[in-house]
Amino acid sequence: MSKGGRRFRAAGPVSPGSSECRCDPVGRPRAWVLLCGLCVVLLVAGMLGVYLSNDPLDGARPHPADWTRDKLSHLPSRVSASQVRRLVSRVDLSRLWETHLRPLLVERLPGSPGSSAVRQSILSSLRSLSAGWTVEVDSFSSLTPRGRVSFSNVLAVLDPEAPRRLLLACHYDSKKLPGGPFLGASDSAVPCAMLLELASALDSTLRATRHRKAVLTLQLVFFDGEEAFEEWTATDSLYGSRHLAELMGRTKHPPGAEETTLLNSIDLFVLLDLIGAPDPLFVNHFDNTARWFDRLITAEKRLHKLGQLSSHPSEQSYFRKDLYLGPVEDDHAPFLKRGVPVLHLIATPFPSFWHSLQDSEENQHPPTVENLTKILAVFITEYLGLDL
Ligand SMILES: [Zn+2]
Protein backbone atom coordinates (compact mmCIF):
# COMPACT_ATOMS: atom_id res chain seq x y z
CA MET A 1 0.00 0.00 0.00
CA SER A 2 1.09 3.52 -0.32
CA LYS A 3 0.84 6.18 2.27
CA GLY A 4 0.04 9.78 1.51
CA GLY A 5 2.69 12.12 2.82
CA ARG A 6 1.70 14.40 5.62
CA ARG A 7 2.52 17.98 5.10
CA PHE A 8 2.11 20.79 7.52
CA ARG A 9 1.22 24.34 6.77
CA ALA A 10 4.23 26.60 7.10
CA ALA A 11 3.52 29.86 8.90
CA GLY A 12 2.52 32.42 6.26
CA PRO A 13 4.17 35.82 6.04
CA VAL A 14 2.59 38.37 8.33
CA SER A 15 1.56 41.51 6.51
CA PRO A 16 3.24 44.48 8.12
CA GLY A 17 0.05 46.41 7.43
CA SER A 18 -0.19 49.98 6.32
CA SER A 19 0.47 53.13 8.17
CA GLU A 20 0.26 56.79 7.45
CA CYS A 21 1.76 59.99 8.77
CA ARG A 22 -0.57 61.32 11.42
CA CYS A 23 1.62 64.32 12.37
CA ASP A 24 -0.28 67.51 12.80
CA PRO A 25 0.97 70.38 10.74
CA VAL A 26 2.71 73.07 12.76
CA GLY A 27 3.11 76.66 11.97
CA ARG A 28 6.53 76.59 10.46
CA PRO A 29 7.01 74.62 7.22
CA ARG A 30 10.58 73.64 8.24
CA ALA A 31 9.37 72.13 11.51
CA TRP A 32 6.60 70.33 9.59
CA VAL A 33 9.18 68.89 7.19
CA LEU A 34 11.39 67.76 10.11
CA LEU A 35 8.48 66.18 11.97
CA CYS A 36 7.23 64.42 8.89
CA GLY A 37 10.78 63.20 8.15
CA LEU A 38 10.95 61.82 11.68
CA CYS A 39 7.63 60.05 11.13
CA VAL A 40 8.96 58.47 7.95
CA VAL A 41 12.11 57.28 9.77
CA LEU A 42 9.99 55.80 12.58
CA LEU A 43 7.64 54.16 10.08
CA VAL A 44 10.54 52.59 8.18
CA ALA A 45 12.13 51.43 11.47
CA GLY A 46 8.79 49.97 12.56
CA MET A 47 8.28 48.15 9.27
CA LEU A 48 11.85 46.83 9.44
CA GLY A 49 11.20 45.55 12.98
CA VAL A 50 8.05 43.70 11.86
CA TYR A 51 9.93 42.35 8.84
CA LEU A 52 12.86 41.04 10.91
CA SER A 53 10.67 39.58 13.64
CA ASN A 54 8.74 37.70 10.95
CA ASP A 55 12.03 36.25 9.66
CA PRO A 56 11.69 36.03 5.91
CA LEU A 57 14.15 33.10 5.88
CA ASP A 58 11.58 30.99 7.74
CA GLY A 59 10.31 29.52 4.49
CA ALA A 60 13.83 28.37 3.57
CA ARG A 61 14.51 26.67 6.93
CA PRO A 62 13.07 23.33 7.96
CA HIS A 63 9.73 23.96 9.62
CA PRO A 64 9.56 22.37 13.10
CA ALA A 65 6.98 19.86 11.79
CA ASP A 66 9.40 18.53 9.17
CA TRP A 67 10.42 15.77 11.61
CA THR A 68 7.18 14.03 10.65
CA ARG A 69 8.60 13.47 7.16
CA ASP A 70 12.08 12.41 8.27
CA LYS A 71 10.86 8.83 8.79
CA LEU A 72 10.49 8.54 5.01
CA SER A 73 14.19 9.21 4.43
CA HIS A 74 15.61 7.82 7.68
CA LEU A 75 18.91 6.00 7.19
CA PRO A 76 20.10 3.30 9.59
CA SER A 77 23.70 3.05 10.76
CA ARG A 78 25.74 -0.08 10.03
CA VAL A 79 27.49 -1.86 12.84
CA SER A 80 30.83 -3.56 12.19
CA ALA A 81 31.36 -7.33 12.42
CA SER A 82 33.08 -6.99 15.80
CA GLN A 83 30.24 -4.79 17.05
CA VAL A 84 27.70 -7.36 15.82
CA ARG A 85 29.47 -10.11 17.78
CA ARG A 86 29.59 -7.94 20.90
CA LEU A 87 25.96 -6.95 20.52
CA VAL A 88 24.50 -10.43 20.06
CA SER A 89 26.63 -11.81 22.90
CA ARG A 90 24.45 -9.69 25.18
CA VAL A 91 21.29 -11.59 24.16
CA ASP A 92 20.84 -14.08 26.99
CA LEU A 93 18.54 -17.00 26.17
CA SER A 94 18.33 -18.25 29.75
CA ARG A 95 17.34 -14.76 30.99
CA LEU A 96 14.78 -14.53 28.19
CA TRP A 97 13.31 -17.92 29.10
CA GLU A 98 13.57 -18.03 32.89
CA THR A 99 13.17 -14.37 33.85
CA HIS A 100 10.97 -12.96 31.10
CA LEU A 101 8.97 -15.84 29.58
CA ARG A 102 8.12 -18.17 32.48
CA PRO A 103 6.11 -15.59 34.50
CA LEU A 104 3.97 -14.94 31.39
CA LEU A 105 2.98 -18.59 30.93
CA VAL A 106 -0.28 -18.47 32.85
CA GLU A 107 -3.84 -17.89 31.66
CA ARG A 108 -4.11 -14.11 31.34
CA LEU A 109 -7.63 -13.16 30.32
CA PRO A 110 -8.28 -9.40 30.37
CA GLY A 111 -9.34 -8.19 33.80
CA SER A 112 -8.36 -11.47 35.53
CA PRO A 113 -5.87 -12.05 38.38
CA GLY A 114 -3.60 -13.86 35.87
CA SER A 115 -3.57 -10.78 33.65
CA SER A 116 -2.72 -8.58 36.63
CA ALA A 117 0.14 -10.87 37.71
CA VAL A 118 1.61 -10.89 34.18
CA ARG A 119 1.31 -7.13 33.94
CA GLN A 120 3.14 -6.74 37.27
CA SER A 121 5.89 -9.01 35.98
CA ILE A 122 6.30 -6.93 32.79
CA LEU A 123 6.28 -3.71 34.83
CA SER A 124 8.87 -4.95 37.31
CA SER A 125 11.16 -6.13 34.48
CA LEU A 126 10.96 -2.71 32.82
CA ARG A 127 11.46 -0.84 36.10
CA SER A 128 14.48 -2.94 37.01
CA LEU A 129 16.40 -1.69 33.97
CA SER A 130 18.92 1.11 34.27
CA ALA A 131 18.06 2.89 31.00
CA GLY A 132 15.30 4.83 32.78
CA TRP A 133 12.18 3.86 30.87
CA THR A 134 9.07 5.94 31.47
CA VAL A 135 6.49 3.23 32.12
CA GLU A 136 2.72 3.72 32.06
CA VAL A 137 -0.37 1.54 32.33
CA ASP A 138 -3.09 2.63 29.93
CA SER A 139 -6.27 1.30 31.56
CA PHE A 140 -9.78 1.49 30.14
CA SER A 141 -12.93 -0.58 29.98
CA SER A 142 -14.90 -1.73 26.99
CA LEU A 143 -18.09 -3.61 26.23
CA THR A 144 -17.46 -7.17 25.08
CA PRO A 145 -19.71 -10.17 24.38
CA ARG A 146 -19.06 -11.05 28.05
CA GLY A 147 -20.17 -7.62 29.33
CA ARG A 148 -17.94 -4.73 30.39
CA VAL A 149 -14.31 -5.77 30.83
CA SER A 150 -11.31 -3.79 32.03
CA PHE A 151 -8.14 -3.78 29.93
CA SER A 152 -4.63 -2.41 30.54
CA ASN A 153 -1.96 -1.78 27.91
CA VAL A 154 1.59 -1.44 29.23
CA LEU A 155 3.62 1.35 27.60
CA ALA A 156 7.32 2.11 28.01
CA VAL A 157 9.23 4.87 26.29
CA LEU A 158 12.84 5.92 26.77
CA ASP A 159 12.51 9.64 26.09
CA PRO A 160 8.86 10.76 26.14
CA GLU A 161 9.78 14.15 24.67
CA ALA A 162 11.69 12.93 21.60
CA PRO A 163 9.70 13.80 18.47
CA ARG A 164 10.07 10.38 16.80
CA ARG A 165 9.73 6.79 18.02
CA LEU A 166 10.61 3.33 16.81
CA LEU A 167 7.76 1.30 18.33
CA LEU A 168 7.94 -2.43 19.09
CA ALA A 169 4.75 -4.23 20.14
CA CYS A 170 3.28 -7.56 21.23
CA HIS A 171 0.09 -8.63 23.02
CA TYR A 172 0.18 -10.18 26.48
CA ASP A 173 -3.45 -11.34 26.89
CA SER A 174 -4.48 -14.94 26.27
CA LYS A 175 -7.72 -16.54 25.18
CA LYS A 176 -10.32 -18.73 26.85
CA LEU A 177 -10.23 -22.19 25.27
CA PRO A 178 -12.32 -25.27 26.22
CA GLY A 179 -10.22 -27.68 28.28
CA GLY A 180 -7.81 -24.82 29.10
CA PRO A 181 -5.94 -23.07 30.51
CA PHE A 182 -4.55 -21.92 27.17
CA LEU A 183 -1.11 -20.44 27.82
CA GLY A 184 -0.54 -18.95 24.35
CA ALA A 185 3.22 -19.41 24.45
CA SER A 186 3.77 -18.21 20.90
CA ASP A 187 0.54 -16.14 21.09
CA SER A 188 2.12 -13.96 22.37
CA ALA A 189 4.10 -14.71 25.51
CA VAL A 190 7.32 -15.42 23.57
CA PRO A 191 7.13 -12.17 21.53
CA CYS A 192 6.61 -10.20 24.77
CA ALA A 193 9.54 -12.00 26.41
CA MET A 194 11.64 -11.14 23.34
CA LEU A 195 10.84 -7.43 23.78
CA LEU A 196 11.84 -7.62 27.45
CA GLU A 197 15.06 -9.44 26.55
CA LEU A 198 15.88 -6.83 23.89
CA ALA A 199 15.42 -4.10 26.50
CA SER A 200 17.69 -6.07 28.86
CA ALA A 201 20.37 -6.85 26.26
CA LEU A 202 20.50 -3.22 25.09
CA ASP A 203 20.14 -1.72 28.57
CA SER A 204 23.61 -0.24 29.01
CA THR A 205 23.65 1.07 25.42
CA LEU A 206 20.21 2.65 25.80
CA ARG A 207 21.20 4.18 29.14
CA ALA A 208 24.26 5.80 27.54
CA THR A 209 22.24 7.32 24.70
CA ARG A 210 19.26 8.47 26.75
CA HIS A 211 20.80 11.82 27.63
CA ARG A 212 21.70 12.69 24.05
CA LYS A 213 18.31 14.32 23.56
CA ALA A 214 18.12 12.53 20.23
CA VAL A 215 15.26 13.16 17.84
CA LEU A 216 14.44 9.44 17.79
CA THR A 217 13.68 7.15 20.72
CA LEU A 218 12.39 3.64 21.45
CA GLN A 219 8.90 2.69 22.66
CA LEU A 220 7.63 -0.72 23.76
CA VAL A 221 3.93 -1.57 23.85
CA PHE A 222 2.40 -4.65 25.49
CA PHE A 223 -1.21 -4.76 24.31
CA ASP A 224 -4.07 -6.21 26.28
CA GLY A 225 -7.23 -7.60 24.63
CA GLU A 226 -5.95 -8.68 21.23
CA GLU A 227 -7.94 -11.90 21.30
CA ALA A 228 -11.67 -12.13 20.59
CA PHE A 229 -13.89 -13.33 23.46
CA GLU A 230 -16.06 -15.17 20.91
CA GLU A 231 -15.76 -15.01 17.10
CA TRP A 232 -13.26 -12.49 15.72
CA THR A 233 -15.15 -9.41 14.52
CA ALA A 234 -14.37 -5.72 14.15
CA THR A 235 -15.78 -5.08 17.63
CA ASP A 236 -14.75 -8.32 19.34
CA SER A 237 -10.93 -8.18 18.93
CA LEU A 238 -8.02 -5.73 19.17
CA TYR A 239 -9.46 -3.95 22.24
CA GLY A 240 -6.09 -2.63 23.41
CA SER A 241 -4.73 -1.56 20.05
CA ARG A 242 -7.97 0.11 18.95
CA HIS A 243 -7.97 2.08 22.22
CA LEU A 244 -4.29 3.07 22.02
CA ALA A 245 -4.40 4.12 18.34
CA GLU A 246 -7.35 6.39 19.11
CA LEU A 247 -5.63 7.78 22.24
CA MET A 248 -2.32 8.46 20.47
CA GLY A 249 -4.23 10.11 17.61
CA ARG A 250 -5.66 12.73 19.96
CA THR A 251 -2.56 13.26 22.13
CA LYS A 252 -0.61 16.26 20.89
CA HIS A 253 3.11 15.59 20.53
CA PRO A 254 5.86 16.69 21.05
CA PRO A 255 5.07 18.86 24.09
CA GLY A 256 3.73 22.21 22.90
CA ALA A 257 2.78 20.96 19.43
CA GLU A 258 -0.64 21.91 18.07
CA GLU A 259 -0.77 20.10 14.75
CA THR A 260 0.99 16.79 15.42
CA THR A 261 0.14 13.84 17.65
CA LEU A 262 1.77 10.75 19.09
CA LEU A 263 0.64 8.84 15.98
CA ASN A 264 2.83 11.15 13.87
CA SER A 265 5.72 10.28 16.18
CA ILE A 266 5.75 6.62 15.11
CA ASP A 267 8.50 6.14 12.53
CA LEU A 268 7.80 2.45 12.29
CA PHE A 269 5.38 0.16 14.16
CA VAL A 270 7.02 -3.28 14.48
CA LEU A 271 4.54 -5.94 15.64
CA LEU A 272 5.72 -9.37 16.81
CA ASP A 273 3.16 -12.19 16.96
CA LEU A 274 3.01 -16.02 16.79
CA ILE A 275 6.74 -16.51 17.36
CA GLY A 276 8.31 -19.52 19.05
CA ALA A 277 7.76 -22.53 16.77
CA PRO A 278 10.70 -23.92 14.78
CA ASP A 279 11.26 -22.90 11.13
CA PRO A 280 9.02 -19.80 11.01
CA LEU A 281 8.54 -17.82 7.82
CA PHE A 282 8.05 -14.07 7.86
CA VAL A 283 6.92 -12.36 4.67
CA ASN A 284 6.83 -8.74 3.68
CA HIS A 285 3.31 -7.28 4.03
CA PHE A 286 3.70 -3.63 3.07
CA ASP A 287 5.49 -1.90 0.18
CA ASN A 288 6.08 1.31 2.15
CA THR A 289 8.20 -0.52 4.73
CA ALA A 290 9.88 -3.01 2.36
CA ARG A 291 13.27 -1.38 2.87
CA TRP A 292 13.02 -2.15 6.60
CA PHE A 293 12.06 -5.75 5.85
CA ASP A 294 15.22 -5.84 3.70
CA ARG A 295 17.25 -4.86 6.78
CA LEU A 296 15.94 -7.95 8.58
CA ILE A 297 16.96 -10.14 5.63
CA THR A 298 20.40 -8.54 5.68
CA ALA A 299 20.76 -8.99 9.45
CA GLU A 300 19.75 -12.66 9.24
CA LYS A 301 22.29 -13.35 6.44
CA ARG A 302 25.02 -11.43 8.21
CA LEU A 303 24.55 -13.20 11.54
CA HIS A 304 24.48 -16.54 9.72
CA LYS A 305 27.77 -15.79 7.96
CA LEU A 306 29.33 -14.67 11.24
CA GLY A 307 28.31 -17.98 12.82
CA GLN A 308 26.06 -16.27 15.37
CA LEU A 309 22.87 -18.29 14.74
CA SER A 310 22.18 -21.83 15.89
CA SER A 311 19.91 -24.45 14.25
CA HIS A 312 19.95 -22.20 11.18
CA PRO A 313 20.78 -24.31 8.13
CA SER A 314 20.58 -21.72 5.35
CA GLU A 315 21.51 -18.06 5.40
CA GLN A 316 17.98 -16.93 4.58
CA SER A 317 15.66 -19.16 6.60
CA TYR A 318 13.19 -16.75 8.19
CA PHE A 319 12.62 -13.55 6.22
CA ARG A 320 11.41 -14.01 2.65
CA LYS A 321 10.30 -11.48 0.06
CA ASP A 322 9.48 -14.04 -2.63
CA LEU A 323 6.36 -15.31 -0.84
CA TYR A 324 3.09 -13.67 0.10
CA LEU A 325 0.26 -15.42 1.85
CA GLY A 326 -2.16 -12.54 2.28
CA PRO A 327 -2.74 -9.94 4.97
CA VAL A 328 -3.32 -10.85 8.60
CA GLU A 329 -5.60 -8.85 10.87
CA ASP A 330 -3.70 -8.03 14.05
CA ASP A 331 -2.83 -5.25 16.52
CA HIS A 332 -1.20 -3.20 13.77
CA ALA A 333 -4.54 -2.69 11.95
CA PRO A 334 -5.85 0.33 13.93
CA PHE A 335 -2.47 2.06 13.39
CA LEU A 336 -2.17 1.05 9.74
CA LYS A 337 -5.53 2.54 8.88
CA ARG A 338 -4.38 5.83 10.43
CA GLY A 339 -1.33 5.91 8.15
CA VAL A 340 1.35 4.54 10.50
CA PRO A 341 4.14 2.59 8.70
CA VAL A 342 4.03 -1.05 9.84
CA LEU A 343 6.37 -4.02 9.85
CA HIS A 344 4.27 -7.08 10.74
CA LEU A 345 6.46 -9.92 12.02
CA ILE A 346 4.02 -12.80 12.27
CA ALA A 347 4.84 -16.37 11.32
CA THR A 348 2.90 -17.35 8.20
CA PRO A 349 1.61 -19.97 7.82
CA PHE A 350 0.59 -19.87 11.48
CA PRO A 351 2.20 -22.49 13.76
CA SER A 352 0.36 -25.84 13.61
CA PHE A 353 -0.57 -25.47 17.29
CA TRP A 354 -2.19 -22.04 16.81
CA HIS A 355 -5.15 -21.50 19.19
CA SER A 356 -4.81 -24.96 20.66
CA LEU A 357 -3.63 -26.20 24.05
CA GLN A 358 -0.44 -27.36 22.32
CA ASP A 359 0.73 -23.74 22.09
CA SER A 360 2.74 -24.47 25.22
CA GLU A 361 6.29 -23.98 26.42
CA GLU A 362 7.51 -27.44 25.39
CA ASN A 363 6.48 -26.87 21.77
CA GLN A 364 8.54 -23.72 21.42
CA HIS A 365 12.01 -23.85 19.91
CA PRO A 366 14.51 -21.86 22.03
CA PRO A 367 17.26 -21.58 19.34
CA THR A 368 14.76 -19.97 16.93
CA VAL A 369 13.64 -17.51 19.61
CA GLU A 370 17.27 -16.65 20.41
CA ASN A 371 18.16 -16.22 16.71
CA LEU A 372 15.22 -13.90 16.06
CA THR A 373 16.04 -11.85 19.17
CA LYS A 374 19.62 -11.42 17.91
CA ILE A 375 18.38 -10.32 14.47
CA LEU A 376 16.08 -7.77 16.10
CA ALA A 377 18.90 -6.52 18.34
CA VAL A 378 20.91 -5.70 15.21
CA PHE A 379 17.87 -4.14 13.52
CA ILE A 380 17.07 -1.87 16.51
CA THR A 381 20.70 -0.85 17.02
CA GLU A 382 21.07 0.12 13.38
CA TYR A 383 17.68 1.84 13.17
CA LEU A 384 18.39 4.00 16.23
CA GLY A 385 22.08 4.48 15.35
CA LEU A 386 23.11 3.34 18.84
CA ASP A 387 26.76 3.60 19.87
CA LEU A 388 28.06 0.21 20.93
ZN1 LIG B 1 -4.33 -15.61 19.27
The alpha carbon of 273 and the centre of ligand 1 are apart by a number of angstroms equal to 9
| pLDDT (0 to 100) of residue 307 | 98
- Residue of 187, 224, 226, 370 marked active site: 226
Amino acid at the residue 73: S
The alpha carbon of 187 and the centre of ligand 1 are apart by a number of angstroms equal to 5
Q: Report whether pLDDT(65) > 70.
A: no
Spatial CA neighbour of 167 closest among 56, 244, 259: 244
The alpha carbon of 247 and the centre of ligand 1 are apart by a number of angstroms equal to 24
226 is catalytic: yes
pLDDT digits (tens, 9 = 90+) for 160-185: 999 999 999 999 999 999 999 999 99
The alpha carbon of 250 and the centre of ligand 1 are apart by a number of angstroms equal to 28
CA distances from 224 to 192, 194, 252, 263 (A): 11, 17, 23, 19
Q: What angle do CA 338, 339, 342 make, to 5 degrees?
A: 110
- Residue 348: pLDDT band with limits 50, 70, 90: very high
- Residue 339: pLDDT band with limits 50, 70, 90: very high
Whole-angstrom distance, CA of residue 52 vs CA of residue 339: 38
The alpha carbon of 102 and the centre of ligand 1 are apart by a number of angstroms equal to 18
Mean pLDDT of the 330-348 span: 98
273 is catalytic: yes
- Residue 52: pLDDT band with limits 50, 70, 90: very low
pLDDT digits (tens, 9 = 90+) for 103-145: 999 999 999 999 999 999 999 999 999 999 999 999 999 999 9
Q: Report whether pLDDT(9) > 90.
A: no
- Residue of 159, 224, 267, 273 marked active site: 273
- Residue 16: pLDDT band with limits 50, 70, 90: very low
pLDDT > 90 fraction of the chain, expressed in percent and rounded = 77
Which residues have a Cβ under 8 Å from the Cβ of 97 and sit 6 or more positions away?
193, 366, 369
Q: Report whether pLDDT(38) > 60.
A: no
The alpha carbon of 94 and the centre of ligand 1 are apart by a number of angstroms equal to 25
pLDDT digits (tens, 9 = 90+) for 232-271: 999 999 999 999 999 999 999 998 999 999 999 999 999 9
Local structure of residue 19 (DSSP, 8 states): -
| pLDDT (0 to 100) of residue 18 | 29
The alpha carbon of 145 and the centre of ligand 1 are apart by a number of angstroms equal to 17
Q: Of the given ranges (27-36, 56-65, 87-96), which has the lowest mean pLDDT?
A: 56-65
Query: What is the pTM (predicted TM-score) of this model?
Result: 0.84
| pLDDT (0 to 100) of residue 30 | 52
Which residues have a Cβ under 8 Å from the Cβ of 373 and sit 6 or more positions away?
91, 93, 96, 194, 197, 198, 201
- Residue 213: pLDDT band with limits 50, 70, 90: confident
Whole-angstrom distance, CA of residue 238 vs CA of residue 259: 27
